[in-house]
Amino acid sequence: MTDRDNERTRSLLAFLEQSAQLVVLDLDAGDKVVEANGYARQLLGETCLGRYFHELLVEAQANLDLEQVWQQTTQPQALSFSCSSGMPESLLVRCYPTASGRVVVGQHDLEELHQLRGSLMEVNHDLSNLTRQQQKSNAELQRLNELKNQFLGMAAHDLRNPIANIYAYTSLFLDDERRQLAPDMRQVLKDLRSLSEFMLSLISNLLDISVIEMGQLRLDKQPLEPAAFLRQVVELNRLFAQRSGITLQDQFAQLPEQLLADHHKLKQVLDNLISNGIKFSPSGSTVLIQAEIVDNRLRIRVIDQGPGISEQEQIKLFKPFGRGAARPEHGQTSTGLGLAISRKIVEAHGGTIGVFSEPGAGATFWFELPL
């Protein structure tokens, strides 16, 4: 060998020792690591020196029969090493016997890494294309929803006047004591009035929900006196409660003198909660309306003695048409929109709304408004 050849050999060995991504481990006869090249120490940690070979493997391979690995000389063996980075790494390992033990040479499976990179690129493409499709579909659905709300608003608006006329005419006949109506005719008119009343309330709720869903809920906040406001709403509902044989009771703690809120919309929320309490409570029971200040928030609770609501039903209760299984006790009807509207109104005020209930133990509907 010439000096030049020796120089080249030293340079190659130095490359293998310092730079090449090859793991080279020199083991003694007992499989203890006595030498490790630079890349092996980088990958497996400086502590690989002096450890037994099986201790360098991941836990799942710690009991591997190494004799079989050493005997396999034609095919590289895929072994997984526990690395200093904390991430395991698989290497293709070949074993070469030496006078004092063996040399183990491990390398990454470059073909596998290449395929993996290609697959990851494909997965990334697919994911980003799916994201695009999904976002486009969402936007299309949003446009359709807005169209639906516009249609709903227009239809409800156009239906309201004729139905209001039916309600007015039937009331005119029924309330005019001079008219001698046959009993069956009176009953038909009563049914007509009751149905048109329900339809008016349904249309009114549909108009509300379409306005809310189009993001057009506007609050006209004015200062109001909470105690006076609550008493007024409770009084207005008392007659309705009496007709159903229900007692309305109020318990108001010391309330602040002023609250900034939309009077009309807040009354809509409270009316809804109280009328629900009355509708779903048996005759002879009490619906309690409580108001107090908790953590600088006005908390109002409407507590009934009705059939209660299961946890499953509570989840959908504040969504449009999310009615529970219970039916009104006194023949009233329910549109299934009142709580959804109430939720939007309370949230627009910066408040929260919810329910506590257990089947058979009544229900407590509550909402809180910031002061």
Partner 1 sequence: MIRGMHTLHQSACQDGPANSITAVYHQYLPLLLAGDRQGCKQLVCALLAAKVPIKELYLDLFQQSMYQVGELWAQGRVSVAKEHLATAITESMLTLVYPTLFRQPRCGRKAVVACVTNEYHQLGGKMVADIIETHGWDGYFLGANTPVEDLLTLLEEKQPDLLCLSISIYENLPIVIDAITRIGQRFPDQRIAVGGQAFRWGPAGPLERFDGLQILKDIDQLEQVLQS
Q: How far is the CB of 111 from partner 1 (least distance, A)?
A: 15
- The mark string for 234-273 relative to partner 1 (x by CB under 8 A, - otherwise) is ----------------------------------------
Q: How far is the CB of 124 from partner 1 (least distance, A)?
A: 5
CB 300 within 8 A of CB 256: no
# binding residues, partner 1 (CB under 8 A)? 17
- Closer residue to partner 1, CB minimum distance, 113 or 325: 113
160 sits in which H/E element? helix 110-175
Pick one of 19, 35, 100, 117: the residue that binds partner 1 (CB under 8 A): 117
**Residue 125 sits in the site that holds partner 1 (CB under 8 A):** yes
Q: Of 321, 316, 319, give the one whose Cα is nearest residue 202.
A: 321
What number of other Cβ atoms are within 10 A of residue 122's Cβ?
Answer: 10
Q: How far is the CB of 128 from partner 1 (least distance, A)?
A: 4
Helix (H, G, I), strand (E, B) or coil at 311: helix
Q: Phi and psi for 212 in degrees, rounded to 5?
A: -65, -45
Q: Of 287, 257, 276, give the one whose Cα is nearest residue 353.
A: 276
Residues within window 126-145 making contact with partner 1, judged by CB under 8 A: 126, 128-129, 131-132, 135-136, 138-140, 142-143
- Closer residue to partner 1, CB minimum distance, 62 or 144: 144
Q: How far is the CB of 85 from partner 1 (least distance, A)?
A: 17
- Closer residue to partner 1, CB minimum distance, 138 or 216: 138
- Closer residue to partner 1, CB minimum distance, 85 or 124: 124
Residue with tokens 């109280």: 274
CA–CA gap between residue 158 and residue 237 (Å, rounded) = 29
Q: Phi and psi for 282 in degrees, rounded to 5?
A: -75, 155
**Residue 21 sits in the site that holds partner 1 (CB under 8 A):** no
What number of other Cβ atoms are within 10 A of residue 200's Cβ?
Answer: 16
13 sits in which H/E element? helix 3-18
- The mark string for 143-182 relative to partner 1 (x by CB under 8 A, - otherwise) is x---------------------------------------
- Closer residue to partner 1, CB minimum distance, 139 or 236: 139
Distance of CA 369 to the CA centre of its chain: 23
Helix (H, G, I), strand (E, B) or coil at 109: coil
Name the residues that contact partner 1, by CB under 8 A: 117, 121-122, 124-126, 128-129, 131-132, 135-136, 138-140, 142-143
